[in-house]
């Protein structure tokens, strides 16, 4: 079973978006209650206040003693005992910065990657029911039952979508050229991102496609379909059912393949003279 935390670690390794710990110390001066941390996008913050006279250390409680602005990287003391921070008191904040993307953002990319990678696939399990009949249980593939060999592929596909997001942000950058001869090629970031994403055979996209083709998974996998036949007597499509194993005693499952050509529908409103279910 694939775990979201392990895939997030793979994605951060692929895009170079690592978390970083930090430690900030602020001295009290009876003036400030709000302090800017050295990092933005912080998580897992612990704060404490130390006092020199008498020497004590008090662990602060979130939303009781302080309020944290994770995105801006700012801590605001709200307890009147420490707000503002007095002389002789020291605020120590320890935490972790999440990088460019938060774990919640990466989980969204992972969900999209799983839906694309496992689209139209299911796992079939053969078992015998309480009455002695052989049954087949078909469960759609999700992150919980994703085969371990396909876990890196989901991470690659999510990393590709993340790089596309970064490339969209870099697409608005323009090269800077000054009269003094200074030239800053800001568009190079966009070109490098697109080169790393690659196409069907190069870059991270080609890496995913090659492994997906070897395992025959993903949206580009080879599929086998059943051609539908139209009855010569009724001009209606003959129903198609899912193929079953020899010993499968479950009820037949009907297939409803999409029907093309709806753009040619008659919108005149004139009723058809054919009787439904008989002919035409």
Record the pTM.
0.74
Whether 14 is covered by a domain: the verdict is no
Sheet hosting strand 55-59, strand order edge to edge: 20-27, 89-97, 42-52, 55-59
pLDDT average, residue stretch 62-88: 91
Write the DSSP string, 44-63.
EEEEEEEEETTEEEEE--BT
Contact 163, 15 (CB under 8 A): yes
- H helix and E strand count, the chain: 5, 13
| pLDDT of 276 over the 60 cut | no
Instruction: Round to whole Å and give the CA distance between 62 and 42.
Output: 14
Tell me phi and psi for residue 272, to 5 degrees.
-80, 140
Q: State the pLDDT confidence band at 274, using cuts at 50, 70 and 90.
A: low
* CB atoms closer than 10 angstroms to residue 193: 19
Q: What is the mean pLDDT of residues 114-131?
A: 89
Within a domain: 76: yes
Percent of the chain with pLDDT over 90: 50
Evaluate whether 165 touches 128 at the Cβ level (below 8 Å).
no
Is residue 102 in a domain?
no
- Classify strands 134-140 and 42-52 as parallel, antiparallel or unpaired: unpaired
Q: Which of 93, 39, 105, 48 is nearest to 71 (CA)?
A: 39
Report pLDDT digits (tens) over 222-255.
988 778 889 888 888 898 898 888 888 888 888 8
Q: Is 240 among the domain residues?
A: no
Residue 126 lies in a domain: no
Q: Tell whether the model's pLDDT for residue 279 goes beyond 60.
A: no
Q: Provide the residue range defining the domain that includes 41.
A: 19-97
Query: Which of 261, 241, 237 lies closest to 251 in space, CA to CA?
Result: 241
Look at residue 166 in the predicted model and tell me its pLDDT: 94
Q: Does 27 map to a domain?
A: yes
Residue 90, domain member (yes or no): yes
Give phi and psi for 177, each to the nearest 5: -135, 125
pLDDT of residue 277: 52
Pairing of strands 66-69, 89-97: unpaired
DSSP H helices in the chain = 4-15, 103-117, 151-170, 188-197, 203-215
**137 in helix, strand or coil?**
strand
Contacting residues for 213 by C-beta, under 8 A, at least 6 apart: 220, 221
Answer whether residue 84 is part of any domain. Answer: yes
pLDDT over 50 at 280, yes or no: no
Per the structure, the count of domains in the chain is 1
Asked whether residue 48 carries a pLDDT value surpassing 90, the answer given is yes
Burial class (CB in 10 A: 0-12, 13-18, 19+), 129: exposed
Examine the pLDDT at 71 and tell me if it is beyond 90: no
């Amino acid at each position: 079973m694939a775990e979201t935390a392990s895939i997030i670690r793979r994605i951060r390794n692929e895009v170079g978006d690592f978390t970083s710990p930090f430690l900030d110390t602020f001295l009290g001066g009876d003036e400030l209650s709000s302090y800017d941390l050295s990092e933005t996008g912080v998580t897992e913050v612990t704060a404490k206040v130390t006092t020199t006279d008498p020497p004590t250390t008090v662990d602060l409680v979130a939303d009781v003693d302080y309020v944290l602005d994770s995105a801006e990287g700012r801590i605001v003391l709200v307890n009147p005992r420490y707000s503002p921070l007095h002389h002789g008191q020291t605020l120590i904040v320890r935490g972790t910065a999440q990088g460019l993307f938060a774990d919640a953002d990466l989980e969204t990319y992972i969900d999209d990657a799983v839906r694309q990678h496992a689209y139209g696939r299911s796992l079939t399990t053969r078992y015998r029911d309480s009455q002695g009949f052989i049954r087949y249980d078909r469960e759609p593939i999700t992150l919980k039952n994703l085969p371990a060999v396909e876990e890196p592929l989901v991470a690659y596909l999510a990393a590709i979508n993340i790089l596309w997001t970064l490339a969209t942000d870099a697409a608005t950058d323009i090269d800077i050229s000054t009269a003094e001869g200074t030239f800053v090629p800001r568009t190079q970031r966009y070109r490098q991102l697109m080169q790393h994403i690659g196409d069907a055979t190069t870059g991270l996209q080609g890496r995913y496609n090659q492994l997906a083709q070897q395992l025959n998974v993903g949206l580009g996998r080879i599929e086998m379909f059943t051609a539908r036949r139209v009855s010569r007597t009724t001009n209606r499509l003959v129903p198609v059912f899912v193929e079953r194993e020899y010993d499968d005693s479950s009820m037949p499952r009907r297939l409803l393949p999409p029907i093309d050509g709806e753009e040619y529908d008659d919108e005149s409103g004139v009723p058809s003279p054919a009787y439904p279910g008989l002919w035409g």
